[in-house]
């Protein structure tokens, strides 16, 4: 699950809010330029998420294990190597 914490920069000492993590069925993505976050559902990622699941040695999460196993065994996509 995602979390929000207060963090302090180890270089300049500035304090800021940091959102990290994701959920069982979404990723919380962060822009590397402005720092804003956006929740992206796995269904929005389409084939990229299926390729990611195909390359995992086990399920992404317990909540999605049945779906993840089905993808690994039956969906015809090339797994992501990284």
- Does the pLDDT at position 27 exceed 70? yes
Please state the rounded mean pLDDT for residues 15-21: 67
Please state the rounded mean pLDDT for residues 64-72: 89
Q: Where are the domains of the chain?
A: 1-42, 46-82
Beta-bridge mates of residue 26: 41
- Residue 69 CA to residue 9 CA, distance in Å, equals 40
Question: Which pLDDT score is estimated for 10?
Answer: 79
């Amino acid at each position: 699950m995602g979390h929000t914490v207060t963090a302090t920069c180890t270089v300049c000492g500035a304090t800021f809010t940091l959102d990290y993590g994701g959920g069982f069925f979404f990723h919380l993505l962060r822009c590397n330029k402005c720092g804003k976050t956006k929740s992206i559902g796995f269904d929005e990622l389409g084939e990229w998420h299926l390729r990611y699941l195909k390359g995992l040695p086990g399920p992404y999460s317990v909540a999605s294990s049945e779906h993840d196993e089905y993808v690994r065994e039956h969906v015809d996509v090339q797994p992501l190597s990284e």
